[in-house]
Amino acid sequence: MDGPNVVRRGAAAVLAAAICGWLSTLGQSAAPVELLAATRSEDPPPKPAPKPKPKPPPPDCARAKCVALTFDDGPAESTSELLDILAARKVKATFFLIGENVAKHPDLVRREHEAGHELADHSYTHADLGAASKEDVRSELTKTQDAIRRASGVTPVLLRPPYGSTSERLAGITRRMGLAQVMWSVDPLDWEHRDTGDVERRVLKAVKPGDIVLMHDIHRTTVRAVPKIIDRLAAEGYVFVTVTELFGGRLEPGQEFVRRNSGEPQGLP
C-alpha cells in the first residue's frame, strides 16, 4: 500500500523544489530578505515564564496543634479590619459568607481569597435550611455559590447551615452539590454578648487541638478579640489552618464535620 503515498511524497518534493526554484529566481527581491529577518528575530530562545512562588505545604494536623478560626455572616465593613489583623499575623481563616453580603461587598470577598483564606457558603439570606423546601434550599445555595464565584473565581466546597440547622434532605442536596457541612466545636456566643474581653476569655478557655471556632466578623467587638486570641494560642504552639486544611482535604460532601476526629493523634511533637 506504499505505492500511492510514495507517489504523493514524490509530488510534494517536486512542488517544494519548484517553489524553492521560484524563490531563488526572485534573487535580490524583498521576499527572501523578509524571510531571513523573520528567522533572525526568533534566534534567542524565548525566556520561560517566571514560576509562581511555591506555596509552603499545609501543616499536618494529625500531628500539629491545629485550630480553624471561622467567621460567619459577612462580609461587612468590619471584615476589612479583620483582614488586616490576620495578614499582620500571617493567619489563614475560613469565611462562611452570606450571599446577599457577597453581592454588596464583592471587593472584600476578593480580598479574602487573595489573602489565602477559604471561602465557604452560609446561604443567601441566612435561611433555616433544615426547615426549608427543596426548591428554597437549592436556590439559597446556588445563588450563594454563584455570587462567591463571580466575586472571587472560587466555587466553595463547604457549607455551614445557619443555626446549624440541617436535615436528611439538606444532606442529600449538599452531597449532590459537592458541599461538606461544617459545624463548630467552640462557640463564644459573640453575637449575644458583644463584648471583646468576653469573646477572648471564652475562646481561650475552650480551645483544644482540632477545634473549629465559630465567630462573626460582622461584629467589631469580635474582630477586636482576634489579636489576643491568635497571639495567646500561637504562644501555646497552635497553628491556624483553614477548615479544609484541618481535615487534610478529606471532607466528604453531604457529611457533617464538627471538629477534627478526636480519635486521630493530636498535638504530638
Q: Does 73 bind Zn ion (CB under 5 A)?
A: yes
Grid look-up 442529600 returns: 172
Closest separation between CB of residue 93 and Zn ion, Å? 15
Residue from 69, 72, 95, 156 binding Zn ion (CB under 5 A): 72
- Catalytic one of 72, 73, 121, 211: 72
Distance between CA atoms of residues 213 and 207, nearest Å: 8
188 vs 209, beta carbon nearer Zn ion: 188
Q: With beta carbons less than 8 A apart as the criterion, state whether 68 and 243 touch.
A: yes
Mark whether 72 is an active-site residue: yes
- Catalytic one of 105, 117, 122, 216: 216
Closest separation between CB of residue 88 and Zn ion, Å? 26
Closest separation between CB of residue 44 and Zn ion, Å? 57
Return the C-alpha torsion angle 258, 237, 54, 84, nearest 10.
80
Q: Does 140 bind Zn ion (CB under 5 A)?
A: no
Residue from 161, 162, 209, 210 binding Zn ion (CB under 5 A): 162
Region of residue 212 (left: phi > 0; alpha: psi -120 to 50; beta: else): beta
Peptide bond into 75 cis (omega under 30): yes
Mark whether 219 is an active-site residue: no
Q: Which stretch of DSSP H or E encloses residue 120? A: strand 118-121
Q: With beta carbons less than 8 A apart as the criterion, state whether 239 and 65 touch.
A: yes
Closest separation between CB of residue 100 and Zn ion, Å? 12
Binding segment toward Zn ion, per CB under 5 A, in 6-14, 72-80, 108-116, 257-265: 72-80
Q: With beta carbons less than 8 A apart as the criterion, state whether 129 and 137 touch.
A: yes
Please identify every residue annotated as catalytic.
72, 216
> Which residues lie near Zn ion (CB under 5 A)?
72-73, 162
